[in-house]
Structure 1
């Protein structure tokens, strides 16, 4: 069975995580490690979410109910790259760059919505070095080190710490870039004659000690260190031929978001122990698709994705809860080059936010996102 179209599942990683649980963005794919021979790839994604909500009667004056937030999620770009090579017949390595976590929140001003003017940005970059050793009977093991940087800023005007939740100076926090180290480890089983591969990879949590500057009604600049741990996760990915030139593929990703928390010192004081960002539940993300080879140069695929809605209140800086998605992709192969392109539509799950932890402050409904991805791969 010819398998040049098997790159389709890998491309979808550049668009699959749009609006996924927590601040997940890349999905931490290691698919390049399984390419044949010496291989290099470059991935680009453009993601355009549209997320807005309407305040409820629980919001106190001077704002109150019925104000629309406007679109509070900015469009963003996503980049990735990888290089893989064989050391000998059994041992190979890969170096992978991705942007695993991120957030771009910007509530427009002038809407009358209680969170108008609130902003948050989180950027991350990771470089992963992996070794893979092929065992007898089609099994292999892989593992390596991940070096990751993060930095974040946020402005939250409705957190003031005075007698009313909307009076006083707005809260602002700036976190310097910090570097942390983690690891990845896993195994795989392959049966090349039917284009079958199943891989399981564990990604460790990574601890960051972020130098933080806060400004608020408590004064400023107040300097401290904020402990942030990006979450551990497990990726299960599979693909198998189900007919001539036809591939079934999919995966499950679990992320330990219930242990993720960002709580700068003064923010906790102002909110009586509240977290700037935290999540109540772990998240499972599922995908399933079919790829079809049309000719020696063209292949196509379609896939669906699902992430369960967990209920409860969502963060004002991330008002989503679960999603459903549909993706289409195509790959063009010529000589040693593969160009893969994909588009994904995401129906973002409805969510409610809160100001006091007891009552809903806003309803976010009927939101969506569109993501485009392109990957260029070379075998040499």
Structure 2
């Protein structure tokens, strides 16, 4: 009797753990890859949710270190030496899960795994580095698993594929001379887009009686081998060859692969402990060069190469995210969870992505056996640091602007509705 009460008491907490701490992670992390709905014990379930994140990263002590009119935008040190760097964003999710023959489960989902948006504007001393940059992705996935009895529990093999789209842009001040001459704003813009395929594979072991589950899932890289776009220099007519017009460009990049281990187990009647460790290969994104389409097949498009027209400089290192928490079922309708998450910053002295610490609180309300509403909140700290010159593969980056930043706050709210039948 006690073990049956234990199992019933923690079941509703199993999937709550993924909503306990929406985090502001490093790199271009947004929602990441999350297939927790695949483990839903209902034969069929539909889930829709959204997370709203408000990072408050503020740059200060900004100094324009490349004051050349032609290559550095001009001397911008008379402009404000501080700026709000980050923008609020939302992360949507939609998923449908179906079970077949008590052994096979399949999940189709839409998510936003990666993205980024910085918007310090033009009125700051670092406008020659960035006015606004935004990257968006859309991910359409299909994942299935097969489970069978093994020992006291069940072993599950997981596999799937996903199709991913990416688009984005960057604007920066190329030169102040067109403004002085009355021939333009001096702002240049890069637009890009591409799509690609990825796959995932994993394994999980579950003992339902104790709400115990251990899983290990690998998500592959997505190769953007045909990044295409434009460089718009119509507002910078003084640039040789490409100034005053729009130029078609091409490049290539990769969305990172990742490996995540999740653990959870009942620890007492109506109590659940959970944790996870994730590695993300953000170091695949360094400097992404873009070259005129007219040079394609003539010379390789490489960072710092002779045909490079512009680049998207990220210069990331690998990311690590560690999370742990505990959940409790209060009664047949209400359950809650609390978690702590640490994320290692991906910046290496260039950029503002330092370590973050996040405290998350989540709750689930189940008015009937077919409906579950979840909501969660999180507050965290983005740790301090600075950005300046950085050397990579013999190339120098960050020599156009330097700045520092203190410990800043980040907050998030998340909600979802699940229908089970």
Q: TM-score when scaled to structure 2?
A: 0.81
CA distance in 1 between counterparts of 2:410 and 2:121 reads: 18
Distance 1:89 1:260, change over 3 A: same
1:56 Cα deviation after fit:
4.8
Query: How far is the alpha carbon of 1:256 from its aligned partner?
Result: 0.4
Alignment match, 2:99? 86
Report the CA distance shift for 1:310/1:121 in structure 2 as closer, same or farther (over 3 A). closer
Is the Cα contact below 8 Å between 1:55 and 1:66 reproduced in 2?
Answer: no
1:109–1:222 CA distance, 2 compared to 1 (3 A): closer
Equivalent of 1:110, from 101, 123, 139?
123
Query: Is 1:211 aligned to 2:211, yes or no?
Result: no
Q: Does the CA contact (< 8 Å) of 2:149 and 2:155 recur in 1?
A: yes
Counterparts of 2:168 and 2:130 in 1: how far apart (Å)? Answer: 17
Q: Are 2:385 and 1:351 equivalent residues in the alignment?
A: yes
**CA distance in 2: counterparts of 1:24 and 1:284, whole angstroms:** 11
Residue in structure 2 matching 1:169, options 177, 183, 186: 186
Paired position in structure 1 for 2:323: 287
Contact preservation (8 Å) 2:192, 2:227: yes
Counterpart in the other structure of 1:132: 145
Deviates more, 1:121-130 or 1:357-366: 357-366
Cα shift at 1:115: 5.0
State the partner residue of 2:13: 5
Select the residue among 46, 54, 60 that pairs with 2:52.
46
Q: Report if the CA contact (8 A) 1:67-1:113 is conserved.
A: no
Q: Contact (CA 8 Å) 1:160, 1:171: kept in 2 or not? A: no
Q: Which moved more, 1:55-64 or 1:284-293?
A: 55-64
Structure 2 counterpart of 1:298, from 311, 319, 334: 334
Residue 27 of structure 1 corresponds to which residue in structure 2?
Answer: 32
Of 244, 248, 272 in structure 2, the residue corresponding to residue 223 of structure 1 is 248
Q: What per-residue deviation string (whole Å, max 9, x for no partner) do you get for residues 59-94 of structure 1? A: 355334994432121111110011111121211211
Report deviation, 1:332: 0.4
Distance, in Å, in 1 between the alignment partners of 2:285 and 2:346 is 16
Structure-2 change in CA distance of 1:224 and 1:114 (3 Å): closer
Post-superposition offset of 1:275:
4.6
- Cα deviations across residues 169-211 of structure 1 (Å, max 9, x unaligned)? 33310113x2211101101000111100111110000112221
**Structure 2 portions without partners, runs of 5+:** 1-6, 68-74, 179-183, 234-238, 293-302, 390-395
Q: For residues 292-331 of structure 1, what are the structure 2 equivalents within 5 Å? A: 292-309=328-345, 312-315=348-351, 319-331=352-364
- Higher RCO (CA < 8 A, seq sep 6+): 2
Return the offset for 1:260.
1.7
**Equivalent residue of 2:16, what SS?**
helix
Cα RMSD of the aligned pairs, angstroms, is 2.8
Distance across 1 between alignment mates of 2:227 and 2:307: 20
Is it true that 1:147 corresponds to 2:173 in the alignment?
no
Q: How far did residue 4 of structure 1 move?
A: 1.4
Q: Does the CA contact (< 8 Å) of 1:144 and 1:183 recur in 2?
A: yes
Q: CA deviation at 1:54?
A: 1.4
Distance 1:239 1:126, change over 3 A: same
- Count of residues paired in the alignment: 369
SS at match of 1:236: strand
Normalised by the length of structure 1, the TM-score is 0.89
